[in-house]
């Protein structure tokens, strides 16, 4: 095997390119490969809930409660700040490029989208708290799982060490086994991703991409702009070389971009955060699983651009108060989004009625949701990692020797 192909990252990139080429050549004839890709995703997803729960319990359970409170507040402030910035950039790019000015609706199929109203405020609040943690795990309700894990970890940290140490040691050992299992599955990533990309391209084709090229182009430029700005701010704040930071985050970025799943990327994200970026185990296992559920910069940027696009399509001029509302709603909608592919359209269906836009038009974006999901996941993963980097720097738990 050539040296360049020994890297998992390069194998994934090659698999993606081959998938696109064969999808364009064979069209629907290659759809049969999708089952292999779905098997790969399921192998990853079956461990994700336990991986997240274990990581949060270990991180919180090993902390002093006072320390946890201080870190928790910092983490949430950075999450909110980065998400607002992403939504603001999305609004700005949408107004500048005007992707909705030339969008043409063709073959609109409302049934592609299952609209699920978010309900009343009291119902939204109740959804944060599990009535049955086993049911929450079975349904992959990440917010409820994390709430349980936080409370369990907090109880563990408050319990006398003599009684809690054996439980904590078991959790740590169990986490190592789960992480090893996911790492083994990730060796199949090139095959799995090829079998996901080829059928997707074969089914969708280039027509739908050409129809909404301007939207995707706007999303791509805005994503790069946010990412470069945020990475630069992080490098300056943490006093580390910008290009070194980009290089060390390359592998997780490629996996995030090609799989469109933060959950699938998490094992590599945890490994590279500690081994390459010098973030302590304590910080990475606390911040990254939380960020995967509570910090979705990519979704905020996607939602804001999509709303501006649809407003332009319907000839609606959004005033400054409306634009501020778009930023706020896009930020709030990111709280607790699904960490596997496909959550973006449901989030959009939740936000659009609040702006006064018809939800049936969301079907326009259904055909390219997988492609826009690439940018969303890239931003989500990289922003979570940089927040962990910032917190590690503030807490004196950043290993600067990794950058020498």
- Give tens-digit pLDDT for 143-174: 788 789 888 988 888 887 777 788 888 988 98
Q: In this structure, what CATH number is given to the domain that contains residue 19? A: 1.10.3860.10
Structure tokens of 270? 């945890």
Confidence tier at 46 by pLDDT (50, 70, 90):
confident
DSSP helix/strand/coil, 279: strand
Q: Is 85's pLDDT higher than 80?
A: yes
Candidates 270, 224, 284, 280; CA nearest to 398 is 280
Name the CA dihedral angle for 77, 82, 86, 91, rounded to a multiple of 10 degrees: 40
Cα dist from 85 to 89, 91, 173, 325, 347, whole Å: 6, 10, 38, 14, 19
Average pLDDT over residues 218-224: 94
Taking the C-alpha atoms of residue 179 and residue 58, their distance in angstroms, rounded to an integer, is 13
User: For the residues of 1-25, what is the DSSP string, one character each?
Assistant: --GGGGSHHHHHHHHHHHHHHHHHH
Taking the C-alpha atoms of residue 102 and residue 96, their distance in angstroms, rounded to an integer, is 14
Q: Is 112's pLDDT higher than 50?
A: no
Confidence tier at 302 by pLDDT (50, 70, 90):
very high
Confidence tier at 340 by pLDDT (50, 70, 90):
very low
Confidence tier at 115 by pLDDT (50, 70, 90):
very low
User: For the residues of 158-198, what is the DSSP string, one character each?
Assistant: HS-HHHHHHHHHHHHHHHHHHHHHHHHHHTTHHHHHHHHHH
Q: Is 26's pLDDT higher than 80?
A: yes
> Do the beta carbons of residue 55 and residue 175 sit within 8 Å?
yes
Q: Is 103's pLDDT higher than 70?
A: no
Name the CA dihedral angle for 96, 102, 104, 110, rounded to a multiple of 10 degrees: 20
| DSSP-based helix, strand, coil % in the chain, nearest 5 | 80, 0, 20
Quote the mean pLDDT of the chain: 81
What is the number of domains present in the chain?
A: 1
DSSP annotation of 360: G
Report the percent of the chain where pLDDT is more than 90.
Answer: 26
DSSP annotation of 129: S
- Comparing 330 with 368, the larger pLDDT belongs to 330
Lowest mean pLDDT among 125-134, 236-245, 324-333, 339-348: 339-348
What is the domain extent for residue 22? 3-403
Average pLDDT over residues 363-381: 81
Q: Supply the pTM of this predicted model.
A: 0.71
Q: What is the pLDDT of residue 67?
A: 67
Number of neighbours of residue 36 by Cβ within 10 angstroms: 16
> Do the beta carbons of residue 273 and residue 279 sit within 8 Å?
yes
């Amino acid at each position: 095997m050539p040296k360049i192909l020994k890297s998992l990252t390069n194998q994934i990139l090659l698999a993606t390119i081959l998938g696109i080429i064969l999808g364009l050549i064979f069209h629907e004839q290659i759809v049969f490969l999708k089952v292999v890709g779905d098997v790969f995703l399921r192998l990853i997803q079956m461990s994700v809930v336990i991986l997240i729960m274990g990581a949060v319990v270990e991180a919180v359970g090993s902390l002093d409660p006072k320390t946890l409170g201080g870190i928790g507040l910092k983490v949430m402030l950075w999450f909110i700040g980065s998400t607002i910035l992403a939504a603001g950039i999305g609004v700005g790019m949408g107004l500048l490029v005007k992707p909705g000015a030339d969008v043409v609706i063709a073959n609109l199929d409302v049934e592609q989208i299952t609209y699920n109203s978010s309900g009343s405020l009291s119902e939204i609040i109740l959804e944060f708290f599990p009535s049955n943690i086993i049911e929450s795990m079975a349904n992959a309700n990440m917010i409820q799982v994390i709430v349980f894990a936080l409370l369990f970890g907090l109880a563990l940290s408050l319990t006398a060490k003599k009684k809690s140490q054996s439980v904590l040691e078991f959790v740590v050992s169990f986490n190592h086994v789960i992480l090893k299992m996911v790492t083994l599955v990730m060796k199949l990533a090139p095959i799995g991703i090829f079998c996901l990309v080829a059928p997707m391209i074969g089914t969708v084709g280039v027509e739908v991409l050409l129809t909404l090229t301007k939207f995707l182009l706007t999303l791509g430029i805005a994503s790069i702009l946010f990412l470069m700005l945020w990475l630069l701010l992080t490098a300056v704040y943490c006093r580390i070389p910008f290009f070194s930071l980009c290089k060390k985050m390359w592998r997780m970025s490629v996996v995030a971009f090609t799989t469109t799943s933060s959950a699938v990327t998490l094992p590599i994200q945890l490994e590279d955060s500690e081994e390459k970026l010098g973030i302590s185990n304590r910080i990475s296992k606390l911040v990254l699983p939380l960020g995967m559920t509570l910090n979705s910069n990519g979704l905020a940027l996607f939602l804001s651009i999509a709303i501006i696009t649809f407003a332009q399509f319907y000839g609606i001029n959004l005033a400054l108060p409306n634009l501020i509302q778009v930023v706020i709603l896009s930020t709030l909608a990111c709280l607790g989004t699904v960490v596997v592919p496909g959550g973006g359209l449901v989030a959009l269906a939740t936000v659009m009625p609040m702006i006064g836009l018809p939800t049936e038009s969301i079907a326009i974006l259904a055909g390219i949701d997988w492609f826009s999901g690439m940018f969303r996941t890239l931003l989500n993963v990289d922003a979570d990692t940089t927040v962990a980097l910032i917190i590690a720097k503030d807490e004196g738990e950043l290993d600067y020797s990794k950058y020498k």
